[in-house]
């Protein structure tokens, strides 16, 4: 099976081929080209499974397989390479992308039935998959840029799929421009980071060499900070981090399978992936790490709050995606390399599931709004249970995939010896509550209560349900490879570890600092989990040190049980669901929660007093004020800044053009011509027609010349 790694390039090549074939011949085929897409993705998926198997079972850390050929000279002896870099991270992304893409392809065959641009849609899906895989397989940052921008284009074309309506056009443009703004950072960052590599090889963009050089400390701090912050800017925009997340909710204007594939599972995680790829570089600077962590924390919390007040099902999921991406980012920012990409991995499955489920619902009721749904569990049983699985996975219910990965993120926060670590842990925990709450709200509103649909809903067909089932299974199962129940030698952590990461450490962490930090973390937890108090063993430090990892090392070693975290997560989950149940359990729309909950609130106040408090001081402020404020700030302030920047630019353009270009610069040119004519008009009077005046001028001229001439000596 070794050969599979060498043929990894086939994985991106197959979707490219199918994209071209669909575009060329799709309309002539019985399935209008969709079968080509499914077929190629199926093969690509099988290949990916093989590659994943190879890399997963290889002794860790696996030596990456890199093949590249000179694509073109670039001048100055440098070359552009087209290459592949296959290691665990690549394999993991391959698996995720091809699987979700395959599911979405199958799903779309039914979902998009009868659309006028059906073939175009499938060509674009395939093209997108190719682009994403091209980014993933890239062995150099330049190739990554290419994939990065191509996914952006596909995203643009698919968001604007229903381009007859203006809001959809605007959404597509917004998405492209906001992400393109981030691309400024990517381009500049890649360029900046290529400079120190000039001496190293012919291809200054090579990722492995860059990582190695950074880990060896061969790259200056200034370069790293500038380069990585710039690249981070790109990740902020692509991965929907605040404040550049504004495009992502709007992007829901695209068809729902697109939202599932692009705006939930794959493309938006490109930013996370890229940072993970360049983690050894990023890990060189505490500043960069801290910025990443803080942005992630802000995002994960506030985006989650916004999700609370949405009626549009897809928007809830979109804000949820933003929030989850914040988790991943925050994890990367506090040293949780494995945690971040693990969450990326599991999130891809359950969020794709949720979106596809939402698509199934929308397909049934012809509306995005939860106020048009209700009681769907009866009409759509398969959709119902798969959706619930996805929801609990997202909400972090213990022993689901989301639980394992989110716990890893929180634990990473605990490990981190700096302030951002605690921030990630606590805010992350709080946001977990929010997550659970809004997902519960969604479930209750959609599946419980009474049907408010204008159409009699019906379960979707097999082609839509099958992907739901597959993804639902994975939403549970995928978490286990990164969980303590799995083998210590071959788990998610070892899978995605790279040799550079395994050897590298944080240069800014003093030898004993990380240990202290862990200790501190232990103390923090001591209060919450008395059973493990007095022992840092909770954090399984021994395991890591047993593996021979130094104090400042980047990889944390194999996962272990963190009972305290487990309990807290469970508590948070239950509390949230319970709270949601109290509020939305009747499945009634939230038009007037007070009215709905009036008697219940009274009872609760009378009996426990917690509900009223929770409602008044938690639900109301959070849902009605903080969330609305967040929504407002997101939609008005931040979006307004983007819109304002756009308007300002357009105004500036208008002014520049009207005033500067047309009047000043062009006027200067015209003015020169004009003044020549002006002088000419004045001067011509001299030619009066009177010969004696001519003679007089002549003589005067002679006299002047003679005098000047005689004096000139």
Partner 1 sequence: MSLVGPLLLATFLFCVGIYGVIARRNAVLVLMSVELMLNAVNINLVAFQNLLFPAEAAVSGHLFALFIIAVAAAEVGVGLAIVLNLFRTRATVNVDDVDLMRW
Partner 2 sequence: MDPQTAGWALVVALFLPLAGAGLLALIPARLDQQIRRAAVVITGVSFALVAAITAAFDFGDAGTLQFVTDVSWISAIDANFHVAIDGISLPLFFLTYLLTFLCAIYTLSNLPAPGKPKGFLGLMLLLQTGMAGTFVAFDLILFFIFWELVLVPMFFMIGMWGGPRREYASVKFFLYTLFASIFMLVAFLAIYFQAGAETWSIPELSAAAGVGGTTFQTWAFLGIFFGFAVKVPMWPFHTWLPDAHTEAPTVGSVLLAGVLLKMGTYGFIRIALPILPEGAMRFAPMIGVLAVIGIIYGSLCCLAQTDVKRLIAFSSVGHMGFVMLGIAAMNEAGIQAALFGNIAHGVITGMLFFLAGSMHERYHTREIGVIGGGMLVKMPKYGVLLTYVAVASLGLPGLAGFWGEFAAMWAAISPGGDLGDAYGGLYLGLVIFAAIGTVLTAGYFLWLLQRVNLGQPPARWADEPLDDVLRIEWVSWVPLLLLILALGVFPRLVFGVQDAAVTNLMSFVTG
Partner 3 sequence: MLIDWVAIAPEIALTITALIVLGADLSLRGEAKQLVNPLAVVGTLVAIGFTLYLWGDERSTFAGQFVINDYAVLFKLLFLGSLLAILGISWRFFAEGRYFQGEYYFLLLTSFIGMLLLPSARDLILLFIALETVSIPAFVMAGLRKRDLYSSEAAMKFFLIGVLSVALMLFGMSMVYGFTGTTELAGIAEAVGEGESVPLLLASVMLIFVGFGFKISAVPFHFWAPDTYAGSPMPVAAMLAVASKAAGFAGLIAVAFIAFEPLADVWAPVLGVLAIVTMTVGNLFALQQRDVIRLLAYSSVAQAGYILVPFGLAQSGHLAVNDAAIQAVLFYLVAYAVMNIGAFGVAIAVNRRTGMRSISDYAGLSQRSPLLALAFTTFLISLGGAPPTVGLWAKYWILRAVAVDITPFGIALAVFLIINSVIAFFYYLRVIRTMWMDDAPAGLPALQPGFNLSVVVVVLMFGTVLLGVLPGLAGNFADVVTLAGG
Asked if 675 touches partner 1 (CB under 8 A), the answer is no
Binder of residue 676, out of partner 3, partner 1, partner 2, none (CB less than 5 to 8 A by kind): partner 3
- From the list 518, 358, 355, the residue with the least C-alpha distance to 425 is 518
Interatomic CA distance for residues 471 and 99, integer angstroms: 9
Binding mask 179-218 for partner 2 (x = CB under 8 A): -xx-xx--xx--xx-xx--x--------------------
629: part of which helix (H) or strand (E)?
Answer: helix 627-632
Token digits of residue 682: 């004045």
For residue 609, report the phi and psi dihedrals to the nearest 5 degrees. 80, -5
Identified binder of partner 1 from the candidate list 6, 381, 687, 706, rule CB under 8 A: 687
Q: How many CB atoms lie within 10 A of CB 57?
A: 14
- Residue reference for tokens 């197959």: 14
Identified binder of partner 1 from the candidate list 24, 574, 696, 704, rule CB under 8 A: 696
Interatomic CA distance for residues 334 and 390, integer angstroms: 27
Least gap, CB of 652 to partner 1 (angstroms)? 48
b/e map 362-387, b = 16+ CB within 10 Å: bbbbebbbbebbbbbbebbebbbbbb
Task: Give the DSSP per-residue string, 139-169.
Answer: SBHHHHHHHHHHHHHHHHHHHTTSTTSHHHH
Range in contact with partner 2 (rule: CB under 8 A) among 145-153, 297-305, 540-548, 579-587: 145-153
Asked if 682 touches partner 1 (CB under 8 A), the answer is no
Binder of residue 706, out of partner 3, partner 2, partner 1, none (CB less than 5 to 8 A by kind): partner 3
Range in contact with partner 2 (rule: CB under 8 A) among 7-15, 46-54, 74-82, 278-286: 74-82
Range in contact with partner 2 (rule: CB under 8 A) among 102-110, 148-156, 293-301, 328-336: 148-156
- From the list 191, 213, 190, 192, the residue with the least C-alpha distance to 201 is 213
- Residue 668 makes CB contacts below 8 A (sequence gap 6+) with none
Interatomic CA distance for residues 267 and 356, integer angstroms: 16
CB-nearer residue toward partner 1: 699 or 704: 699
- Among positions 692-711, residues that touch partner 3 (CB under 8 A) are 692, 694-695, 697-702, 705-711
CA angle 446, 447, 448 (to 5 degrees): 105
Token digits of residue 257: 């399978």
Identified binder of partner 2 from the candidate list 17, 29, 39, 74, rule CB under 8 A: 74
CB-nearer residue toward partner 3: 595 or 669: 669
- From the list 233, 7, 269, the residue with the least C-alpha distance to 137 is 7
CB-nearer residue toward partner 1: 485 or 703: 703
Least gap, CB of 152 to partner 2 (angstroms)? 9
Asked if 164 touches partner 2 (CB under 8 A), the answer is yes
Asked if 669 touches partner 1 (CB under 8 A), the answer is no
- Binding residues with partner 2: total (CB under 8 A): 51
Contact between 142 and 279 (Cβ < 8 Å): no
Asked if 462 touches partner 2 (CB under 8 A), the answer is no
- Residue 331 makes CB contacts below 8 A (sequence gap 6+) with 296, 337, 339, 340, 343, 408, 409, 412, 413, 424
Least gap, CB of 657 to partner 2 (angstroms)? 4
Binder of residue 685, out of partner 3, partner 2, partner 1, none (CB less than 5 to 8 A by kind): partner 1
Least gap, CB of 685 to partner 1 (angstroms)? 8
Interatomic CA distance for residues 693 and 691, integer angstroms: 5
Asked if 704 touches partner 2 (CB under 8 A), the answer is no
CB-nearer residue toward partner 3: 608 or 694: 694
Binder of residue 696, out of partner 1, partner 3, partner 2, none (CB less than 5 to 8 A by kind): partner 1
Range in contact with partner 1 (rule: CB under 8 A) among 121-129, 501-509, 553-561, 685-693: 685-693
- From the list 38, 147, 44, 19, the residue with the least C-alpha distance to 94 is 44
CB-nearer residue toward partner 3: 528 or 701: 701
Least gap, CB of 660 to partner 3 (angstroms)? 24
Identified binder of partner 2 from the candidate list 669, 683, 691, 710, rule CB under 8 A: 669
Interatomic CA distance for residues 214 and 233, integer angstroms: 20
Length of the chain: 713
Token digits of residue 36: 């080509």
Identified binder of partner 1 from the candidate list 113, 201, 655, 688, rule CB under 8 A: 688
Contact between 459 and 380 (Cβ < 8 Å): yes
Binder of residue 677, out of partner 1, partner 2, partner 3, none (CB less than 5 to 8 A by kind): partner 3
Contact between 258 and 252 (Cβ < 8 Å): no
- Among positions 662-691, residues that touch partner 3 (CB under 8 A) are 673, 676-677, 679-681, 683-684, 687, 689, 691
Least gap, CB of 696 to partner 1 (angstroms)? 5
Asked if 689 touches partner 1 (CB under 8 A), the answer is yes
Q: Say which DSSP state 69 is in.
A: E
Asked if 28 touches partner 3 (CB under 8 A), the answer is no
CB-nearer residue toward partner 2: 233 or 583: 233
Identified binder of partner 1 from the candidate list 30, 591, 690, 712, rule CB under 8 A: 690
- Among positions 77-116, residues that touch partner 2 (CB under 8 A) are 77-78, 80
Compute the half-sphere exposure of residue 217: CA atoms within 13 Å on the CB side of its CA.
Answer: 6
Burial group, residue 469, by CB count within 10 angstroms (0-12, 13-18, 19+): middle
Interatomic CA distance for residues 245 and 635, integer angstroms: 10
Least gap, CB of 678 to partner 3 (angstroms)? 10
User: Using alpha carbons only, how large is the chain's radius of gyration in Å?
Assistant: 31
CB-nearer residue toward partner 2: 239 or 496: 239
CB-nearer residue toward partner 2: 194 or 532: 194
Work out whether the CA dihedral 360, 97, 308, 607 comes out positive or negative. positive
Task: Give the DSSP per-residue string, 156-213.
Answer: HHHHTTSTTSHHHHHHHHHHHHHHHHHHHHHHHHHHHHHGGGTTT-S-TTBHHHHHHH
- Among positions 635-664, residues that touch partner 2 (CB under 8 A) are 646, 649-650, 652-654, 656-658, 661
Contact between 318 and 263 (Cβ < 8 Å): yes
Asked if 653 touches partner 1 (CB under 8 A), the answer is no
Asked if 692 touches partner 1 (CB under 8 A), the answer is yes
Asked if 485 touches partner 2 (CB under 8 A), the answer is no
CA angle 319, 598, 369 (to 5 degrees): 30
- Binding residues with partner 1: total (CB under 8 A): 11
- From the list 87, 29, 27, the residue with the least C-alpha distance to 63 is 87
Identified binder of partner 1 from the candidate list 166, 607, 685, 713, rule CB under 8 A: 685
3-state secondary structure of 134: helix
- Residue 51 makes CB contacts below 8 A (sequence gap 6+) with 4, 5, 8, 11, 86, 90, 91, 94, 95
CB-nearer residue toward partner 1: 166 or 684: 684
- Binding residues with partner 3: total (CB under 8 A): 29
Range in contact with partner 2 (rule: CB under 8 A) among 30-38, 70-78, 316-324, 447-455: 70-78
- From the list 148, 147, 152, 145, the residue with the least C-alpha distance to 176 is 152
Interface contacts to partner 1, rule CB under 8 A: 684-685, 687-692, 695-696, 699
Interface contacts to partner 2, rule CB under 8 A: 71-78, 80, 142, 145-146, 149-150, 153, 156, 160, 163-164, 166, 169-170, 172-173, 176-177, 180-181, 183-184, 187-188, 191-192, 194-195, 198, 646, 649-650, 652-654, 656-658, 661, 665-666, 669, 673
Interface contacts to partner 3, rule CB under 8 A: 673, 676-677, 679-681, 683-684, 687, 689, 691-692, 694-695, 697-702, 705-713
């Amino acid at each position: 099976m070794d050969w599979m790694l060498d043929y990894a390039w086939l994985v991106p090549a197959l979707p490219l081929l199918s994209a071209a074939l669909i575009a060329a011949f799709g309309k002539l085929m019985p399935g209008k080209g969709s079968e080509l897409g499914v077929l190629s993705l199926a093969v690509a998926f099988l290949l990916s499974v093989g590659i994943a198997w190879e890399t997963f079972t290889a002794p860790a850390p696996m030596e990456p397989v890199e093949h590249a050929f000179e694509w073109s000279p670039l001048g100055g002896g440098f070359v552009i390479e087209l290459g592949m870099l296959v290691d665990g991270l690549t394999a993991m992304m391959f698996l995720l992308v091809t699987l979700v893409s395959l599911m979405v392809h199958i799903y779309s065959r039914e979902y998009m039935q009868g659309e006028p641009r059906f073939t175009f849609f499938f060509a674009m899906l395939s093209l997108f998959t190719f682009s994403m895989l091209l980014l993933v397989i890239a062995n150099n940052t330049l190739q990554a840029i290419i994939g990065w921008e191509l996914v952006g284009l596909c995203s643009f074309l698919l968001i604007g799929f229903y381009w007859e309506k203006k809001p959809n056009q605007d959404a597509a443009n917004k998405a492209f421009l906001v992400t393109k703004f981030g691309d400024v950072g990517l381009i500049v960052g890649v360029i900046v980071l290529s400079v120190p590599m000039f001496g190293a090889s012919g291809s200054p963009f090579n990722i492995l060499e860059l990582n190695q050089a950074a880990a060896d400390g061969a790259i200056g701090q200034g370069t790293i900070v500038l380069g990585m912050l710039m690249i981070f800017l790109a990740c902020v925009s692509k991965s929907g981090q605040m404040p550049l997340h504004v495009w992502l909710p709007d992007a829901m204007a695209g068809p729902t399978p697109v939202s599932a594939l692009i705006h939930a599972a794959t493309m938006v995680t490109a930013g996370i992936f890229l940072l993970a790829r360049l983690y050894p570089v990023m890990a060189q600077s505490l500043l960069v790490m801290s910025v990443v962590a803080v942005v992630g924390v802000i995002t994960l919390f506030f985006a989650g709050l916004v999700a609370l007040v949405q009626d549009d099902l897809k928007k809830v999921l979109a804000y949820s995606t933003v929030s989850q991406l914040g988790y991943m980012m925050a994890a990367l920012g506090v040293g949780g390399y494995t945690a971040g990409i693990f969450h990326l991995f599991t999130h891809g499955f359950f969020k794709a599931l949720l979106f596809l489920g939402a698509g199934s619902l929308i397909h049934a009721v012809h509306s995005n709004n939860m106020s048009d749904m209700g009681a769907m569990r009866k009409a759509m049983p398969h959709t119902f249970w798969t959706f619930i699985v996805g929801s609990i996975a997202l909400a972090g219910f213990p022993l689901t995939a989301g639980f394992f990965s989110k716990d890893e993120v929180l634990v990473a926060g605990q490990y981190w010896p700096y302030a951002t670590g605690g921030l990630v842990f606590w805010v992350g925990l709080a946001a977990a509550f929010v997550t659970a709450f809004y997902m519960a709200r969604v479930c209750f509103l959609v599946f419980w209560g009474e049907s408010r649909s204008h159409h009699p809903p019906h379960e979707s067909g097999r082609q839509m349900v099958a992907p739901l089932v597959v993804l639902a299974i994975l939403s549970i199962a995928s978490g286990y490879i990164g969980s303590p129940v799995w083998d210590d030698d071959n788990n998610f952590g070892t899978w995605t570890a790279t040799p550079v990461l395994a050897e590298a450490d944080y240069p800014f962490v003093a030898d004993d600092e990380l240990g202290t930090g862990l200790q501190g973390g232990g103390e923090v937890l001591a209060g919450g989990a008395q059973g493990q108090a007095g022992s840092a063993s909770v954090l399984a430090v021994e395991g890591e040190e047993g593996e021979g990892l130094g104090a400042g090392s980047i990889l944390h070693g194999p996962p272990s049980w963190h009972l305290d975290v487990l309990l807290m997560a469970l508590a948070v989950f239950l509390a949230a669901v319970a709270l949601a149940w109290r509020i939305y359990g009747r499945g009634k729309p939230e038009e007037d929660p007070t009215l709905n909950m009036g008697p219940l609130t009274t009872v609760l106040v009378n009996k426990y007093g917690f509900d009223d408090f929770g409602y008044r001081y938690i639900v109301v402020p959070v849902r009605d004020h903080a969330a609305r404020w967040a929504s407002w700030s997101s939609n008005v302030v931040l979006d307004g800044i983007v819109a304002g920047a756009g308007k300002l630019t357009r105004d500036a353009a208008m002014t520049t053009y009207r005033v500067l270009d047309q009047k000043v610069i062009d006027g200067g040119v015209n003015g020169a011509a004009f003044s020549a004519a002006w002088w000419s008009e004045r001067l011509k009077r001299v030619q009066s027609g009177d010969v004696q005046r001519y003679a007089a001028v002549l003589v005067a001229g002679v006299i002047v010349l003679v005098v000047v001439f005689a004096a000139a000596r």
